[in-house]
Amino acid sequence: MRKITIAKGDGIGPEIMDATLKIILAAGANIEIEEIEVGEKVYLSGNTSGISEASWDVIRRNKIFLKAPITTPQGGGYKSLNVTTRKFLGLYANVRPCMSLHPYVSTKHPIMDLVIIRENEEDLYAGIEHQQTDEVVQCLKLISRPGCEKIVRYAFEYAKQQNRKKVTCFTKDNIMKQTDGLFHKVFDEIAAEYPSIENEHWIIDIGAAKMAETPEMFDVIVMPNLYGDILSDVAAQITGSVGMAGSSNIGETCAMFEAIHGSAPRRAGQNLANPSGLLQGAILMLNHIGQSEVAEKVQNAWLKTIEEGIHTYDIYKEGTSTAKVGTKEFADAVIKNLGEKPSLLKPVNFGNTAALNLPKYQRKPAQKKVLVGVDLFVHWSESNPNELAAIVQKLETAEVSLSMITNRGIKVWPNGFEETFCTDHWRCRFKPKNNAAFEKTSILNLLESALTQNIDIIKTENLYEFDGISAYSLGQGQ
């Protein structure tokens, strides 16, 4: 018996949660339920996070959380409970299956059945942003080896458990050779451990275009946070049934499952809402806790019900649908179909597999790290790079010289183009003369003389080699 936490949420939440629980319990889900309150009432009682300390304790104790949608009150500094939960509980994997239900839900892609697995914690979403000059602001894109290993392994383990044939990776590593390059490298390393699952990598731009045009080419797609945020909405939208999708947020110890739609307050309390999105979340939960047989039974009964044309108002269509039903009647129809399989829609086969095998990240032995130079970023409001070179060359010493200046990554000195547009944010790269060793004290000396010469350094980045390989970007055009 697996104990889980549930929250019925707001609006249509309680109705779709009751329907979902009734279905999965009838299918034989081996769960014990502990309910907490989150959402509007908690927010309006003065708690800006929408959840009490006692409820956190319950979620952390049970580790598995099935959450109905909640209403976030407008204004008043209320924080999104989803973002808070994801960050506090370290829910690093966001999983969103996107499947079309042709001909019951209109779509241009009748045979689409893919799963987007999105890294959920890092990338540009680390939220580290700074304004550095009058004209330039910066957002740090952080990609870590543990972050990549965890999400890529999750994608392959998920594919294995779900009998999926292929995992595709999307990155932009032709441009971001260090960050996206690491994600791609880790993908290749981990893919090699799963020889029975096909793997491939696409550059995100053409990959996204292919996904939008021929989604049937893809099975499981894994990607960094920002790309996944955007493309998981595109994928859900083109199935034609955003309102019927579920998602999971998975961490090392805890996981949260939900519908992707909101609390639809105008439909609340009328036995109208479609419980399918939350039911899809519950199916992901059952697979996650190793109750795949039950998950499979529920999914096939649900597909059969959709196929019989028994539809809630939101997908009801004259000609295709056979009965317009309420939330409760839809749940009863699914329960009646438990044990049945769809005949036109493809039945699922989740198998009777164990929970995913996700070992803890093991830190690798330290690499040989050698300092080989420094980039000094300078705020300078003139426009001729040759003049700036003359100014910063005054910082040179017997050991260290200026090797390059870039502006927004493009080399503007030496031998820049007059046509290149320059902002007030300049990267001045200093390297040791004659390939000599570069010491940290050289950086201090450069900063000290910049201070005395009124050169406005707004940040520095150390240049390293790891195991003899340069680990920093060159200037474009260098």
Q: How far apart are CA 64 and CA 250, in angstroms?
A: 9
Is the CB of 97 or the CB of 277 nearer to ligand NAD?
277
Is the CB of 81 or the CB of 405 nearer to ligand NAD?
81
Is the CB of 37 or the CB of 396 nearer to ligand NAD?
37
- Between β-strands 369-379 and 410-413, what pairing exists: parallel, antiparallel or unpaired? unpaired
Residue type, 235: A
Task: Work out how close the CB of 11 gets to ligand NAD at its nearest, in angstroms, rounded to a whole number.
Answer: 6
Task: Work out how close the CB of 331 gets to ligand NAD at its nearest, in angstroms, rounded to a whole number.
Answer: 12
Residue nearest to ligand NAD (CB): 262
Task: Work out how close the CB of 10 gets to ligand NAD at its nearest, in angstroms, rounded to a whole number.
Answer: 7
Task: Work out how close the CB of 407 gets to ligand NAD at its nearest, in angstroms, rounded to a whole number.
Answer: 41
Radius of gyration of the chain (CA): 27
Task: Work out how close the CB of 275 gets to ligand NAD at its nearest, in angstroms, rounded to a whole number.
Answer: 7
Is the CB of 310 or the CB of 450 nearer to ligand NAD?
310
- In this structure, what are the phi and psi dihedrals at residue 362, rounded to the nearest 5 degrees? -105, 120
Task: Work out how close the CB of 320 gets to ligand NAD at its nearest, in angstroms, rounded to a whole number.
Answer: 17
Is the CB of 314 or the CB of 465 nearer to ligand NAD?
314
Question: What is the token pair recorded at 348?
Answer: 């699922």
Task: Work out how close the CB of 161 gets to ligand NAD at its nearest, in angstroms, rounded to a whole number.
Answer: 25
Is the CB of 272 or the CB of 392 nearer to ligand NAD?
272
Q: How far apart are CA 11 and CA 354, in angstroms?
A: 35
Is the CB of 64 or the CB of 208 nearer to ligand NAD?
64
Is the CB of 28 or the CB of 262 nearer to ligand NAD?
262
* Binding positions for ligand NAD, rule: CB under 6 A: 12, 16, 69-72, 82, 243, 258, 261-264, 266-267, 273-274, 277, 314
Question: What is the token pair recorded at 346?
Answer: 């493809």
Q: How far apart are CA 87 and CA 300, in angstroms?
A: 34
Task: Work out how close the CB of 330 gets to ligand NAD at its nearest, in angstroms, rounded to a whole number.
Answer: 10
